[in-house]
Structure 1
Amino acid sequence: MIFEPDKNEVDIINTIHKYNESEYVLIRLTPTMINKNNTDANALFRDLLKSKGIVDYDKLPNGGGNGKKISAKLLLNSSVQDVKVNLYKVAGKRSDRRFSIYGIKKMWEAGKVSRGDLLYITVTELHGANQIVILNMTNNVPSEEVLTKVFGIDQVADTASRLIPQVKKIAQAGFHKNSKGIGKVSPKDVGDTLEFLLGIKTNNNQEADFEGKIEIKSKTGKTLDTLFTLRPQFGGTAVEQIEENDRSRVSAFTRLYGYDSDKHVGYKSLYITIGTRKAPQNSIGFFLEVNEEGRRVELRKMNISTNEDELAAYWTFSSLKCELHRKHPATLWVKAEQRINGDTAEFRYLEAELSRSPQFTTFLSLIKSGGITYDWRGYTTPTGKYQGKNHGNAWRIRGKNRRLLFGGIETINLISDHDFDRG
C-alpha cells in the first residue's frame, strides 16, 4: 500500500527532496502500529532496504527474535536522534514481513509522533555506511538546518550554474530558426533546436542531455510532458504466443490489438493513451495496474464481452526506476512559442522550470491516480513482414503533477515581458 500524503505533507516532502535524492517510502502511523509496535514491511520498503544493503527479508529466519536489529536516525525539529529498529518475519507459515521502531509508544506519549502521522523513511550514507533515516511529515517536521546536516547540499546546482546562463542568452536573443531547416514542423523540433543552440549533439545516449546531469525538455502548447520511452516486456502474454522474436513484439502488439487505420490505409494503427482501471482514457479496454508484490506495472486488456481482463504487457519496477533516474537526475522544462517565417518555423524560448530528484514511489502513486499515463503510438502491416512505424511509446505526466514527481522545482526567469515584442 502507498500511503498518500495530503497537500501540506506533499509540500514538506518536496522541501526534503531539495536535500535527499535517495528513494523513500511512506508509512501512515495507526493506533496498532503505536500500541503494538508492529508495522507491515511492504514491498517498496523491503526493496529499498535490500537495494541499500541493509537487509534481505527473504534471507531472514522466522520469529521476531531472529530479526536484524540496527540503528537508525530520527529527525525531529532541530534534532537528530538515535533509535533502534527491528526488521523481522513473524513466526508461522505465512512469514509476514514486519518492522518495529523501539520506543515508539514513549515517543507518542512525549508528543514526538501522533496517530495518523506520515513517516518518511529513506536510506542515506552517513559516516561511510548506509543508514535508515526516519522523518515525520506531519508533526515535529525537521528543520532545513537538520536536513542539510544529514543529507548535504544538492549536487545539481553546480551543473545548473553553467546551463542556465546559456539558456537565458538564447531566450533573450528572440526567435531562432528550426535547426532542421525548411519543412513541416514536428513536435520534437523545438527541443532539437534548443539543443543545437546549446551545442548538444543529437545521439542515442540514454543519459541526461547536459553533462549527463540535466535533461532538457522543450515544448510549445499545453501537451503532456514526456518523461521517457521504455518498451514493455511480454513474457506470459498473448503477444509472446504469436511472436517468437522479442525484438518484433512491439510491432506484434500493434498488429494484435490495433485497429484498421484511416490515415495509413491498409495498416493496423494503435494510437491510444492508457490510464488507470477507473479512468483508462481509451475506448478499447487497456488500463495500467501497479502490482506492488509482483514489483511491476502491468498493462492489462479488458474483454468487454466477459468483463474479465488479462495481462498484455508489463514493466518491472527496477527497469522503470532505472530509466526515470537515468533520464531525470534533473530536468530543465522550457516553454517556447512558435511562428512560421516563410517556409521555416522559428522558436522563441520564454520560461523554464528546473526539477530535481524524481521519486519512484511518487511515480507509482501518480500512475495509480491517473497523473501519469502511457501512450502507445505506432502502426504496422496486418500480416507478413512488419512494416510501418513506432513513434516511441512514452510515459507522460500532466504538467500540474510535475511538482509532485520531482523533489524540487525552481522557476527560472529567462526573459521579462518587456524584453521582447510579441507582435
Structure 2
Amino acid sequence: MLEKSDTSIAETLAVFTRYDLDVGLLVPTETGMRKSIMDATAGLREYFQYTGFHDYDMQAQGPDAKVIREAFFVRPDGLQPTTASLYRPVTKSGDPRVWFGRLKGYAEPYNLLAVLVRDDKAYIVNCSDPRILASIHDPSTPLGAIAASQRPTRDPVVEELLDMIRDVSSRGFVRTLRPGDTGVGMTLETLLGINANTRKAPDYKGIELKAKRLRKGKANRVTLFSQAPDWKLSPIGSAWNLLSTYGYERDGKLRLNHEMNATAPNSIGFFLEVDAAHDWLKQNYQDPDTAATRHVTTWEMEKLRNRLKEKHPQTFWVSARCRGKGASEEFHYVQVEHTRQPKVRNFDALLEGGVISVDYLMSQKGHQRVRDHGYLFKMHSADFPAPFPPSETHVLA
C-alpha cells in the first residue's frame, strides 16, 4: 500500500537517512482506518524483528496471542502515549496486523507513517505533517533528540582512493580506452590501475567505483547493480522466451530495451510489483486491450537486498566532463560523490514508490540465443539521500 502514500516516500526516507536512522513505513487506507486494522508490511515486520521489538514469525494466531507494546505518537513539541497492538488473526492465514490506539486522532487515510524503535518503544511519526517531520532538525524536540544521537563514521581508505583520483583529474582530458557507454568507467579504472571487475564485489578495498558522464540538461539514472531474474521462479522460464514473446524486431533481430517501475505499466505493458507474501519482486504484463495482467519474471527480494548491500558498502560516484565521440571521446574526471552503506530496509519502499526502476537491455544473438547488458536496477542520483546516509562531495577541478 505504500504506493498510495500522499507524501513522497523518497523525500521522507531521505530525511531519516540524513541522520542515519532506520524506520518502518505504513500507509493506512480508508478501510483500515474504519476497521482499526493495518497490514504489517514486510518492511515493517523485518524492522521490528531487527530491533527486537516484535517477531511475527514466533507469534501464534488468534486474540489470545495478541501482544500490546508501549508506543508514542510524535508531535512537534511532545509525545502522546499510545499502544501498539501486534497480532495475527485466525482468518486469512494469520497475516500479520498492527494497530496504534487512537490513530484516527493522529493521522488521516493515506498519510505516510514512519515507525521508529528506540529503547524497546515504538515512536510513530506522521510524515505527511510537515511540522512533525521538520522537528527532526531541532534537537530540543523528541524526534530531533533521537536524530542528534546518531554519528556517522568514515573509512581511512577513502583518502587513499581520493588521492589516486585527484592524480587522474590533474591530467585534464584523457582519451577513452574503450568506445561506447562503458568507456567512462573502464578508462578510469585502467588509469587507477584497477583490473576490470567481473565479480559482484566492490572494486577497490571495499569501495565501489561508478563513473558517469556529465551532460547539460540531462539527469541520467545511474545503475545500482545488475541482477538476472530467477528463471526457475519465473513463469516465462528463460531469457529467450522473454525476448521472443515480448521483443520487437529492429535491424533484423529481436530487441527488448525498456525501463519499468511499480507505479504504472510502461509503453509495452510491463510493470513491477513487490509481492510481500512471497518476498518477491515480480515483473508483470498488462494487456492494453483487456487490462488483464500476468506474471512474467521473478526476483527474490532478499537476493536483491543483499546485492545492494554487497555492491555499495562505500561507493565513489565519479563524474566526468566529456568531449568528442566514439574512439576520439575524452574525459576529464572532475567530481566524486562518496556514499556509505545504504539503508537496505528502504529498498522495498523505493521500488514500490517507483524511485528505483529496472531496465531490460536485451537483443537476439544467433538462433534462440540472447545477448543482454544486464538486468539493471537504477535510480536518479538526486534521490540518493533516500537509500544512502549523507554523502560527501569532493570537487576535483
TM class by shorter chain equals 0.7 to 0.9
Partner of 2:221: 224
Q: Are 1:396 and 2:372 counterparts?
A: no
> Following TM superposition, by how much is the alpha carbon of 1:203 offset from its aligned partner in structure 2, in angstroms?
2.3
* Aligned pairs for 1:333-352 within 5 A: 333-340=317-324, 344-352=328-336
Q: Deviations over 1:207-254 (max 9, x none)?
A: 2333224443433434321121100123465532xxxxxxxx224422
Report the Cα distance in structure 2 between the residues aligned to 1:193 and 1:81, rounded to whole angstroms: 57
Given that 2:281 and 2:300 are in contact with CA atoms closer than 8 Å, whether structure 1 keeps it comes out as yes
Q: Are 1:374 and 2:358 counterparts?
A: yes
CA, structure 1 residues 39+149, in 2 after alignment: closer, same or farther (shift >3 Å)? Answer: same
Given that 2:318 and 2:335 are in contact with CA atoms closer than 8 Å, whether structure 1 keeps it comes out as yes
Q: Are 1:309 and 2:309 counterparts?
A: no
Q: What's the TM-score, normalizing by structure 2?
A: 0.76
Q: Deviations over 1:289-315 (max 9, x none)?
A: 233333222111233454422111011
Q: Are 1:275 and 2:261 counterparts?
A: yes
The number of equivalent residue pairs is 382
* Aligned pairs for 1:21-420 within 5 A: 22=22, 24-27=23-26, 39-50=38-49, 55-68=54-67, 85-90=84-89, 95-100=94-99, 105=102, 118-122=112-116, 134=123, 136=125, 137=127, 138=129, 139=132, 141-142=135-136, 143=138, 146-147=145-146, 150=149, 152-156=150-154, 158-178=156-176, 180=177, 185-221=179-215, 222=218, 223-235=220-232, 237-240=234-237, 249-262=238-251, 265=252, 267-276=253-262, 278-280=264-266, 282-283=267-268, 285-304=269-288, 306-340=290-324, 344-360=328-344, 362-381=346-365, 383=367, 386=369, 389-415=371-397
Give the secondary structure class of the aligned counterpart of 1:393.
strand
Given that 1:216 and 1:331 are in contact with CA atoms closer than 8 Å, whether structure 2 keeps it comes out as yes
> Following TM superposition, by how much is the alpha carbon of 1:39 offset from its aligned partner in structure 2, in angstroms?
4.5
Give the secondary structure class of the aligned counterpart of 1:334.
strand
> Following TM superposition, by how much is the alpha carbon of 1:349 offset from its aligned partner in structure 2, in angstroms?
1.2
Given that 1:275 and 1:370 are in contact with CA atoms closer than 8 Å, whether structure 2 keeps it comes out as yes
Over the matched positions of the two proteins, sequence identity in percent amounts to 23
Given that 2:263 and 2:353 are in contact with CA atoms closer than 8 Å, whether structure 1 keeps it comes out as no
Residue ranges of structure 1 left out of the alignment (5+ in a row) = 241-248, 416-423
> Following TM superposition, by how much is the alpha carbon of 1:321 offset from its aligned partner in structure 2, in angstroms?
1.3
CA, structure 1 residues 195+135, in 2 after alignment: closer, same or farther (shift >3 Å)? Answer: farther
Give the secondary structure class of the aligned counterpart of 1:187.
coil
Report the Cα distance in structure 2 between the residues aligned to 1:233 and 1:363, rounded to whole angstroms: 19
Report the Cα distance in structure 2 between the residues aligned to 1:205 and 1:123, rounded to whole angstroms: 36
> Following TM superposition, by how much is the alpha carbon of 1:85 offset from its aligned partner in structure 2, in angstroms?
4.4
Q: Deviations over 1:180-227 (max 9, x none)?
A: 3xxx61211111222233333322332233322444343343432112
Report the Cα distance in structure 2 between the residues aligned to 1:374 and 1:216, rounded to whole angstroms: 18
Question: Computing the radius of gyration over CA atoms, which structure comes out larger, 1 or 2?
Answer: 1
> Following TM superposition, by how much is the alpha carbon of 1:319 offset from its aligned partner in structure 2, in angstroms?
1.7
Give the secondary structure class of the aligned counterpart of 1:335.
strand
Q: Which amino acid aligns with 1:191?
A: G
CA, structure 1 residues 118+343, in 2 after alignment: closer, same or farther (shift >3 Å)? Answer: closer
Given that 1:88 and 1:98 are in contact with CA atoms closer than 8 Å, whether structure 2 keeps it comes out as yes
Q: Deviations over 1:113-155 (max 9, x none)?
A: 666875422568x7xxxx56536344273445734665x4223
Give the secondary structure class of the aligned counterpart of 1:299.
strand
> Following TM superposition, by how much is the alpha carbon of 1:325 offset from its aligned partner in structure 2, in angstroms?
1.9
Report the Cα distance in structure 2 between the residues aligned to 1:211 and 1:342, rounded to whole angstroms: 31
Given that 1:210 and 1:216 are in contact with CA atoms closer than 8 Å, whether structure 2 keeps it comes out as no
Report the Cα distance in structure 2 between the residues aligned to 1:215 and 1:80, rounded to whole angstroms: 43
Q: What's the TM-score, normalizing by structure 1?
A: 0.72
Residue ranges of structure 2 left out of the alignment (5+ in a row) = none
CA, structure 1 residues 119+300, in 2 after alignment: closer, same or farther (shift >3 Å)? Answer: closer
Give the secondary structure class of the aligned counterpart of 2:228.
coil
Q: Which amino acid aligns with 2:302?
A: S
Q: Which amino acid aligns with 1:59?
A: M
Report the Cα distance in structure 1 between the residues aligned to 2:366 and 2:329, rounded to whole angstroms: 36
With CA pairs under 8 Å and 6+ residues apart, which has the higher RCO, 1 or 2? 2
> Following TM superposition, by how much is the alpha carbon of 1:336 offset from its aligned partner in structure 2, in angstroms?
0.9
